[in-house]
Every structure is written in C-alpha cells, then in structure tokens.
Amino acid sequence: MTKRESKNKFLSGNWYPVEETSTTELKISGELPRELSGLFLRNGPNPKEPINHENYHPFFGDGMIHGIRVEDGKALWYKNKFVTSPFGFGPNTHVLKHGEKIYALVEGGVSPVIMDSEMNFLEEEPFPAADNKRFTAHPKIDSDTGEMHAVSYDFGEYVNGLGQVHYVTIDSNGKLIKDQIIETPSRPMVHDCAITKNYVLIFDLPVTFNLGRRDDDNNPIGGDYPVVWNDKHTSRVGLQNKKTDEIIWIEVNPGFLFHIVNSYEDDNGQVVLDFCRYERLFDFDNPLPMGQKPFLTRWILDPKTKTCSEEMLDDRPMEFSRVHPDFDGKQHRFGYLLNDGRLNNYFKHDFEKSETIAHDFGESCQAAEPVFIPRKNAKSEDDGFVVGFVYDKTTDLSDFVVLDAQNFSDAPLARVTLPQRVPFGFHGSWINLD
Ligand SMILES: [Fe+2]
C-alpha cells in the first residue's frame, strides 16, 4: 500500500499532505483580470510526520496555508506554509482579513494566529483584552460597522463540564468589545454562526460533546473526535439580540449545519437563513463526512411566534457555501457552493429566481470551496469573480482558477497551474492588496 492509498480515506488521494514549497515561475492559461491585485489564501489540514493512519482525523491535522499572489494580470508567486503559532496548535480551518490583520482560525479553544501578506506568522497576540483566545473559524463581519461577530466554544470548558458558548464581538481595530456567555447545557459543536441587523444566531443543534466515545472501538469516525449525534437534545436556534443581549430560542427541525450561506431579516422582522442542511451527522451509522449529504435549505425563523419553517431549495448535495463578502447579515440574492457529490462542479444559486447554475470542471477535476471577489465599482451583487483551487487527477497538480461570476458556466477566465497539488482542505479568502 503506497502512502497515497491509505485505508484512512482522509489520507488517500488528494487528501494526502504535501511539503512546503514556493515558486515565482507560474504558467497562466487565459488572462488574469488586471484589476485583481491581492492574495488568495486557503487553509486546511496537512498532518506532519509521523502520521497515525489508524487514528487521523482531518479536523486535527496541522494547519497549512496555500497562497497565490496576483497583480496586474500576473501571478507573482505561490507558496504553502505550515501555520506556526506561538500559542500551540496551528489553526487549520480558515484564514481571513479583519481590519488590517489577517487571521488563521480554528474552533474549539485554540487561539487565532496573525500573519502578514507575505505569509509570515507573527508573535502578536490577537484581540487584546480577551482573557481567553478561544475563537471560531467562521466569524461574521458587519460591513457597516466593521465589527466582527463570533460564536465560539472551548473543548477545555466542555471537559470541565461548562455547558456554554461565547458570543464575542471584536471592533475594526481588533479589540475585544464583548464576551458574553450563553448557556448551552448539552455542550454543542458550533461551527458557524450568522448575523442579521438585530441578531446573532446561535446554533444549538444535536451534535454534542461526548468524551466517552473516544474510547469506543466501534467508533467509525476515528480520530477521537469527541462529539456525537444526540437524539436527546432539542434542536434550537437562539436569536441573540446584539444590543439588549436578550435571547429568543426557537425550536427547529433536528439536523446539523456546518456552513450557512447567509442570513438577514425580511420586511416582517422574520429571520431568513440559507444554509447546507444535514439530516443527521456524527452518528455511528453515518460517519462524517461523506455519509449524509448536505442540501441547500432555507429556514424562516419568526421571533414573535417562535416557529420555524423549512424549505429544501435544491436536490443536489452542496457544501462550502459562500456569499459576497460585504453581505454578511444583509439580504443576498446569490450564493456560491461546491457540488458535494463528485466535487467537479461549482454552483451559483439565485435565491430570487430559485435556480442553480453549474460550472463543470470536467471528469478529471475535483474543486474546493468557491470564493467570490466583487469587482471594484461593481454594478450588481454578482459583478465579480469566483476563484478557487481545482485539483486535476490526470496531472496530479492543482490550478488557481478564476471564473466570471456573471458568465458562470463559461470557460474560466484564467487558470494558473501550481507546481504541486493543493490537498483538499477547508476555507480561504481573497485579500485585496492595492
Ligand atoms: Fe467550516
């Protein structure tokens, strides 16, 4: 058995880790839009040797960031580096810019790490005044105020029996404004949150902390991941008022979400949430991932009646949902997603027309999360580009691909071929640098 044919599916094929490398010699097919001046970063797990093939789980793999620097129609460099942290574990899940700082992020009690635009990791402490640097991979940034809102939890607190999550707000200068404790006795895994004009949404769903399962020989998930589907837990969403700190809990259909597309309040004060819904997850009969598939779903939560309606919006599995970066908490029309079946399609969903357009990369390709970049002086919500790393099994290399978001099915505007493959990973961002 070669290394790339591990019996652990998260160490097989394009999941297998790569070495650090860098180059300034990059071949471009097509034309990179000259107005794209910046850096595309993507974080993901890349376990260091020695790797335990029996027990490895990607949620615990060492963070590695892949970056490509683009300017004036040229691809200046590509490099990939392990996330090095002065605080311990290198966050492996997301990388984004807030204010003037770029953060590598992960959930569960690990501190974010600050990096510069040359991909150097800094010793600087994030969020001065925070007594605990626990955070999340999926904060939301209010483009009106510049504030970053996050719902985080800490496995250390869970181990100590504390059933609580934290609603944290960071101002545009990276300073902690608020750290509010919200009681969640079942100790839920909370991967994402959502914001609207008045609320932050707390997802208290039935995947909850269970340390005991780590020792269960029948645990099909492996990797000692200490959460489990919990039939005894009532699924609920908290509408936490951002100003008054009051919370309205609304019971919802049992299910789980890793990622939202977006959320907003409609004219009637109802909260609209679009997300990728799993029927059941972290269940012994349905190990994660690639057991159950997620489907694009809309919940409408009514704070007056405390009820929730549910509608499935497309019957194709899709994940890694993204929206225009300035639309967190504002009414959106478009979402961008990855086909969670064969991985060879990006989807653009039009929530106004209720239709999905696909971009097909072809049989040999496996794409990763699509990231939308608005055009400067954009005239509409989808006036911009969709970018991502796409792995080609025939060459065993990855391309940085740029699509025209308004001509989504058309051939890519540009493909930049990298000197190596980018393993499957999690999330990334475009960082403007002009
Ligand atoms: Fe995520």
- pLDDT value at 388 more than 70: yes
Task: Return the pLDDT at 223.
Answer: 45
Give the separation between CA 182 and CA 320, rounded to whole angstroms: 27
Are 303 and 250 a contacting pair, CB within 8 Å? Answer: yes
Condensed to tens digits (0 to 9), the pLDDT of residues 330-372 reads: 999 999 999 988 899 999 999 999 999 999 999 999 999 999 9
Task: Return the pLDDT at 88.
Answer: 87
Condensed to tens digits (0 to 9), the pLDDT of residues 24-63 reads: 999 999 999 999 999 999 999 999 988 888 778 888 899 9
CB-based burial, 298-337: b 16+ in 10 Å, e otherwise: bbebbbeeeebeeeebeeebbbbbbbbbebbbbbbebbbb
Report how far ligand 1's centroid is from the alpha carbon of 30 (Å).
Answer: 31
Are 386 and 348 a contacting pair, CB within 8 Å? Answer: yes
- pLDDT value at 12 more than 60: yes
Sheet holding 194-195, edge to edge: 194-195, 199-204, 236-241, 247-251
Task: Return the pLDDT at 219.
Answer: 46
Report how far ligand 1's centroid is from the alpha carbon of 259 (Å).
Answer: 6
Report how far ligand 1's centroid is from the alpha carbon of 426 (Å).
Answer: 6
Give the separation between CA 312 and CA 75, rounded to whole angstroms: 40
Nearest Cα neighbor of 386 from 359, 356, 426, 421 is 359
CATH superfamily of 9-432: YVTN repeat-like/Quinoprotein amine dehydrogenase (2.130.10.10)
Q: What is the mean pLDDT of residues 97-106?
A: 97
Report how far ligand 1's centroid is from the alpha carbon of 74 (Å).
Answer: 30
Nearest Cα neighbor of 166 from 320, 176, 212 is 176
Instruction: Say which residues have a Cβ less than 8 Å from residue 99's Cβ, sequence separation at least 6.
Output: 146, 172, 173, 174
Q: What is the mean pLDDT of residues 80-96?
A: 95
Task: Return the pLDDT at 246.
Answer: 96
| Confidence label for 225 from pLDDT (cuts 50, 70 and 90) | low
Report how far ligand 1's centroid is from the alpha carbon of 108 (Å).
Answer: 12
Report how far ligand 1's centroid is from the alpha carbon of 229 (Å).
Answer: 18
pTM: 0.95
Say which DSSP state 31 is in. -
Task: Return the pLDDT at 244.
Answer: 93
Give the separation between CA 46 and CA 80, rounded to whole angstroms: 11
Backbone φ, ψ for residue 18 (5° rounding): -125, 170
Report how far ligand 1's centroid is from the alpha carbon of 286 (Å).
Answer: 19
Provide the token pair at 85: 């942290």
The β-bridge partners of 311 are 298
| Confidence label for 224 from pLDDT (cuts 50, 70 and 90) | low
Task: Return the pLDDT at 281.
Answer: 84
| Confidence label for 6 from pLDDT (cuts 50, 70 and 90) | confident
Q: What is the mean pLDDT of residues 269-276?
A: 98
Query: What is the rounded average pLDDT for all residues in the chain?
Result: 92
Condensed to tens digits (0 to 9), the pLDDT of residues 136-192 reads: 999 999 999 999 999 999 999 999 999 999 999 999 999 999 999 999 999 999 999
Report how far ligand 1's centroid is from the alpha carbon of 260 (Å).
Answer: 9
